[in-house]
Structure 1
Amino acid sequence: MANFIDYYKTLGIDKSADAKAIKKAFRKLARKYHPDVNPGDKVAERKFKEINEANEVLSDPEKRKKYDKYGKDWEHAEAYERAGGRAGGNPFGGGGYTYTSGGAGGADFSDFFSQMFGGAGGGASFGGRQRRTSFKGQDIEASLTVNFTDILEDNKQVITVGDKQLRVTIPAGVDDGQTLRLRGQGSPGQGGGPAGDLYITFRVTTPPEYDRKGADLYKTQDVPLATMVLGGKVMVQTPTGAVNVPIPELSQNGKRIRLKGKGLPKYKASGSGDLYLDLLAQLPTSLTNEQRELFKKLK
């Protein structure tokens, strides 16, 4: 009896796993068993091929549907159905065979397809031609640290991944921890399979005076005490330059002023966020005699 390959078991996931869980499990195992990490290790090489094969099937909704029905011989499903096969019947017009998904007393789909197509294994034979199994290359994960000023507009940088250099566009307004996928820029495929993808996670260094929430920025702004009381203007630094901001008379600590459009660019959208200033009275650290007398009168 042919060995049944359980792709779910290969990836260590449940049959109810969604696409996200499948992807996560595959990437974890691919990193562990990749030939570059285990040079000359035949066991690791075999495991790597198995998890690639499992991922290729389970990550594709149509292939996964056929696999769930026919097992590892899902690739022959159409030929089987054209031959008239169905559970409990003989596709060749005779009687007697019972095809099940496994279990005592009946041949599984793997047995049936081995008889019908001459075996599967490393490649099924169709009319004397050997089908070569191909595997997608491993995905690569990398991080890229960028300065606050690098995300004020689309910015191009050259990065080195492995032994190749790539010109990467840093999108305006990209957030810290955000990941960008570059198709086909991962490790080469095997057996003619496609290359993997490159996932770049951005690390954006935000100046300590700002708190960032998406495209909006928040900042505590010191204002001289006299300006808080009498009103006036203060010079405020924004990401795009300094601006004069009017301060209303008798402003209280914690009063918030919104500077529309003075935040960061919105990621893959038009316009910019806002800059919010939380006012804080700046108390004097020393007084002249005249100032002291004025404060006494005020008291």
Structure 2
Amino acid sequence: SGESIRLKIPKGVRDGFKIRLKGRGQPGPTGQRGDLYVTFEVGDHPHFDRKGDDVHRTETIGMFEAVFGTDIRVPTPYGQHLKLSVPAGTQPGEKLRLTGQGVKTDDGAGDLYVEIDVNIPDNLSRKQRAVLHEAAEDADLL
């Protein structure tokens, strides 16, 4: 009918969520207006994957950062950047959690899970390889 409708969208709606607006639809055979249903389609994000109210992303750190530990700044879905401490000995594929930093809803918030990817250098000099090899032998890692 061309009329504008204002509606309040709840925080954290999921794909397929529906809102029913009673009596705001098209008139039926009896002349009485039916209900209007608004169905939400939540698009994907290029840097975050949503699973329920939890959000997942991957951060890449260097090999020595994984070995010795480091602090990284992680973006949240709401535009903040938070400090995340990556402990020494973190393995590739390990997930660290930032509690309450996922999708916000009226009932609370999910968590942000950060999967750690480790960048292994592939262009070491002979000298660098020799030093690392010696350190690995001293630590009984070879």
1:51-62 aligned at under 5 Å gives the runs none
TM-score, length basis structure 1: 0.41
Give distance in 1, aligned partners of 2:128 and 2:21: 64
| 1:229 corresponds to | 67
The alpha-carbon distance between structure 1 residues 249 and 164, as it changes in their structure 2 partners (threshold 3 A), is same
Q: CA deviation at 1:217?
A: 1.1
Q: CA deviation at 1:289?
A: 6.3
2:16/2:39 contact within 8 Å kept: yes
The alpha-carbon distance between structure 1 residues 292 and 198, as it changes in their structure 2 partners (threshold 3 A), is same
Aligned pair 1:295/2:132, yes or no? yes
The alpha-carbon distance between structure 1 residues 296 and 197, as it changes in their structure 2 partners (threshold 3 A), is same
| 1:117 corresponds to | none
| Equivalent of residue 204 in structure 1, options 11, 20, 42 | 42
Q: Which moved more, 1:220-229 or 1:283-292?
A: 283-292
What amino acid is aligned across from residue 214 of structure 1 in structure 2?
G
The alpha-carbon distance between structure 1 residues 185 and 288, as it changes in their structure 2 partners (threshold 3 A), is farther
More strand by proportion, 1 or 2? 2
| 1:169 corresponds to | 8
Q: CA deviation at 1:192?
A: 5.4
TM-score, length basis structure 2: 0.81
More helix by proportion, 1 or 2? 1
SS of match in other structure, 1:170: coil
| 1:261 corresponds to | 100
Identity %: 36
Give distance in 2, aligned partners of 1:185 and 1:263: 34
| Equivalent of residue 281 in structure 1, options 115, 118, 137 | 118
Q: Which runs of 5+ in 1 are unaligned?
A: 1-161
Q: Which runs of 5+ in 2 are unaligned?
A: 137-142
Give distance in 1, aligned partners of 2:23 and 2:63: 59
| 2:139 corresponds to | none
Give distance in 1, aligned partners of 2:121 and 2:22: 58
Residues 195-251 of structure 1: CA deviation (Å, up to 9, x unaligned): 111111111113133221221112222222111100111111111211110011111
Give distance in 1, aligned partners of 2:123 and 2:53: 39
2:48/2:77 contact within 8 Å kept: no
SS of match in other structure, 1:167: coil
Q: How many residues align?
A: 135
| 2:140 corresponds to | none
Q: CA deviation at 1:283?
A: 2.0
